[in-house]
Amino acid sequence: MATLLDLLHTTQVGAALAGLVVLLLLEGAHPFFEFFRERKERGRHLARNLVLGAVNSAVVAVVFAGLWVAAAAWAAANGWGLLRLVALPGWLHAMGAVLLLDAWTYAWHRMNHRIPFLWRFHRVHHSDAQMDVTTASRFHTGEIVLSSALRVPLIVALGVTAWQLVLYETLMFAVVQFHHANIALPERVEAVVNKLIVTPAMHKVHHSRWQPETDSNYSAMLSVWDRLFRSFRRREALHEVELGLAEFDDDRHQSVAGMLRTPLASIQKLDA
């Protein structure tokens, strides 16, 4: 089991780095929005988001990864979990784990928009007015701690194994990088791919600073959840979408320190 987990973790890290490099190159060659006037400006944006992402990864690795593995092992040893109520083939158990984890991610994301305390942390992610692949790593550490802590009882309740969790995280983060990227798919490809997973066009709507659009398209990997729970929204004139949060446009909110202070900021939502 340890060897399998090590292999999956190595694959996860490798996939994340490969996705970052490929999508950065695609953004540079064919950007959907012309955000940056010079490389220095783009480099500063990249560094800020990735530094915050690295801090979060370290917190998860040091504090929570062991807890997740222990929770999965305890649930397996004691026969706990929704997925263990009936005997399932290994592949079907894994598919069920991915579906249930993705449904939870949708629910958690939606709660982050609906509950004011959670929104204080989540607005760090939405305050990026120059959304690109690095925005996939831009989350407040407080949000990561809360979501990671909730994973412990979730793993037990669902009966998810450690390798299934790593598998889901690998697939999900690859899609998250993809749909945050400053790119667009050809219309025909978009129409097909969007039926299965979240696409850049779908997620650009979610990052709009107009609240009815911000509060839509919550899915992280599979797009079915937004259609199922009626939170799916389209925008035909996608180039007209204004990204970010108007109340956080000032550069003092965009530094790493500024992002970490964001939950403490008593700022009302502005009419965009």
Convert the pLDDT of each residue in 67-96 to its tens digit. 999 999 999 999 999 999 998 899 999 999
Amino acid at 61: A
pTM of the model: 0.93
Amino acid at 156: V
Arithmetic mean of pLDDT, 261-269 = 80
Arithmetic mean of pLDDT, 203-212 = 97
Helix boundaries (H) for 135-262: 141-158, 162-180, 187-193, 200-206, 211-214, 224-228, 256-261
Percent of residues, the chain, with pLDDT higher than 90: 88
Q: Count the helices and strands in the chain (H runs, E runs).
A: 12, 0
**What is the structure's pLDDT at 270?**
46
Instruction: Quote the tokens at residue 122.
Output: 């989540």
Instruction: Quote the tokens at residue 172.
Output: 């999900």
Residue 142 CA to residue 227 CA, distance in Å, equals: 29
Query: pLDDT per residue over 10-40, tens digit each?
Result: 777 788 899 999 999 999 999 999 998 888 9
